Amino acid sequence: MINEIKKDAGSRMEKSIDSLRHELAKLRTGRAHVSLLDHVHVEFYGNEVPLSQAASITVGDPRTLVVQPWDKTMVGPIEKAIMSSDLGLNPATAGTVIRVPLPPLTEQRRREMGKVVRHEGESAKVAVRNIRRDALADLKMLQKEKEISEDEERRAADDVQKLTDRFVDEIDKLVEAKEAELLEI
């Protein structure tokens, strides 16, 4: 019973870390990366779909993304979707190929992105702490129902705390690495 609670908490904390990695991958660091356009959606045959389902996205050079729609009639809607996204990008169309140049980040924009990175990290820490709270409540309930002893509950609570500390440290390392990546020119 105790091991199930710890395993569940560990897997949920791992999912929080994965979510943080996914969110940090979306943040632009000045280099072209196909995941930058992951959250851009386009109207495709009457449905809102992610851009990756309406076109192929490749990295042309370190500062340019190349979007090639599968349907030639989608060039305009894809271009509009990229422009209206919160990324601040201005695509350039050449026939059926859309080139998306990434402007260099200004110092002010880098600092703003640093704040966003820290906010995402703090959100991930809150999620991990909430998982810890849930696990500790489950352990307390088991102890209250006399399914485990007080000592077992304390040992398990210490294990859950160590697990939490490990994941919080990992979050700190991810945030630090992303901030360093943002500040390099």
pLDDT-flagged residues of the chain (< 50): none
Torsion angles phi and psi, residue 83, rounded to 5: -65, -40
Residues 110, 162 within the same domain:
yes
CATH number reported for the structural domain that contains residue 172 in this entry = 1.10.132.20
Q: What is the pLDDT of residue 185?
A: 60
The model carries a pTM of 0.68
* Secondary structure class of 63 (helix, strand, coil): coil
Residue 10 and residue 48 in one domain: no
Quick one: 21 and 111 in the same domain? yes
Which residues, 6 or more positions from 147, have their beta carbon under 8 angstroms from its beta carbon?
A: 1
Determine the Cα–Cα distance for residues 59 and 62; give it in Å rounded to an integer.
Answer: 7
Encoded tokens for 40: 């851009």
pLDDT, position 110: 80
Round to whole Å and give the CA distance between 18 and 35: 15
Give me the pLDDT at residue 28, please.
65
54-97, pLDDT tens digit by residue?
Answer: 888 888 887 888 988 888 888 888 888 888 876 777 888 888 88
So what's the pLDDT on residue 30?
A: 65
- Contact (Cβ atoms closer than 8 angstroms) between residue 141 and residue 181: no
| Predicted local distance difference test score (pLDDT) of residue 175 | 92
Strands (E), the chain: 41-44, 47-50, 55-61, 64-69, 92-94, 97-101
